[in-house]
Structure 1
Amino acid sequence: MLFGAHLIKKVANEVYLLGNQWSLLKEVKATTTNNIEALADVPADSPWFSGHFPGEPILPGIALVYIVKQAIIEEALKKGTQLQLYSLRRIRFTQPVRPGDTLSISINYEDTGEDILFSFKVINKENVVSSGQITAKKING
């Protein structure tokens, strides 16, 4: 497992144990066969802002990747598939996300049979704030 994917898994497990207060995901829907669209709200009282940064709150990059991971997992579970995310590549954070922002997430994916490659963009007010690729493996079905 690569360092980045290991970190995401660790954070995801910790966030799960702490409850839904960490979840920013609002809605997930498949728009076409190989596309997932999602919305996320970023409330000012989100625990993600704790310590990031006093007087100038910015959503940490790990939270953006976690939102994408949540959308991927939720859509897979709707289809009866469980996934193991194991690789993060080309992750970019291009603009800060602040309290009160609403994010649109666009995820395109290709199932090669062995792996699934997810390419994502997180958009705030028509500006891409994060992008990258996540590779996953089916662990059933």
Structure 2
Amino acid sequence: MLFGAHLIKKVANEAYILENQWSLLKEVKATTNNNIEALADVPADSPWFSGHFPGEPILPGIALVYIVKQAIIEEALKKGTQLQLRLLRRIRFTQPVRPGDTLSISINYEDTGENILFSFKVINKENVVSSGQIAAKKING
């Protein structure tokens, strides 16, 4: 049993390290009842740039969606709510994000009781670089 418990703890610790290695979020806060604001830094040594693209690094679109997902989940957990993300809709990537950029994330949401629809914009230097919607279902709270 000790070996099993030790192994579970080690795997959980490694998962935590990996999750934080990929995280770009710097700050998340709820500004009103239906709004979340976040900041993200994009360091040049981020693993997101690995192979994307040598000599001309561009943050992959999935990284932008991941940042938004992290902000949503973090704010929900502060309220004691767990979410199951169900749908990505109208996702747009309009400008490249490069190493050294700082991103502002603005998320508005509509809570219908069991489901929540999040509409987001990711902004870099006053330009929208990504936008879209994420639908989620509450699995508690």
Give the TM-score normalised by the residue count of structure 2: 0.88
Q: Per the alignment, in what secondary structure is the counterpart of residue 122 of structure 1?
A: strand
User: Which segment is superposed worse, 52-61 or 8-17?
Assistant: 8-17
* Counterparts in 2 of 1:9 and 1:85: CA distance versus 1, 3 Å: farther
CA RMSD of aligned residues (A): 7.5
Structure 1 residues 4-13 or 130-139, which shifts more?
4-13
Q: 1:127 to 1:85 in 2, by over 3 A?
A: same
TM superposition shift of 1:134: 0.1
CA distance in 2 between partners of 1:4 and 1:115 (Å) = 37
TM-score, structure 1 normalization: 0.88
Match for residue 43 of structure 2?
43
- Deviations, residues 12-44 of structure 1 (Å, cap 9, x unaligned): 999867231110000000000000000000000
Q: Say if 1:33 and 1:88 are closer, same or farther in 2 by CA, change over 3 A.
A: same
Q: Secondary structure at the match of 2:114?
A: coil
Q: How does 1:1-141 map to 2 (within 5 A)?
A: 18-141=18-141
Structure 1 segments unaligned to the other structure (5+ residues): none
Instruction: Summarize deviations over 1:68-123 as a string: whole Å, max 9, x none.
Output: 00000000000000000000000000000000000000000000112100000000
Distance 1:19 1:114, change over 3 A: closer
Deviations 1:39-63 (A, max 9, x none): 0000000000000000000000000
Relative distance call for 1:73 and 1:88 in structure 2 (3 A) is same
Contact 1:2 1:86 in 2 (8 A): no
Distance 1:113 1:86, change over 3 A: same
Which structure's CA Rg is the greater one? 2
- Give the number of aligned pairs: 141
1:6 offset after TM fit, Å? 30
Alignment CA distance shift 1:128-1:2 (3 Å) = farther
Q: 108-117 vs 33-42, which deviates more? A: 108-117
Query: Which SS does the other structure have where 2:113 is aligned?
Result: coil
Contiguous gaps of at least 5 residues in structure 2: none
- In the superposition, relative to structure 1, how do residues 47 and 104 fare at CA in structure 2: closer, same or farther (>3 Å)? same
Distance 2:93 2:62 in 1: 10
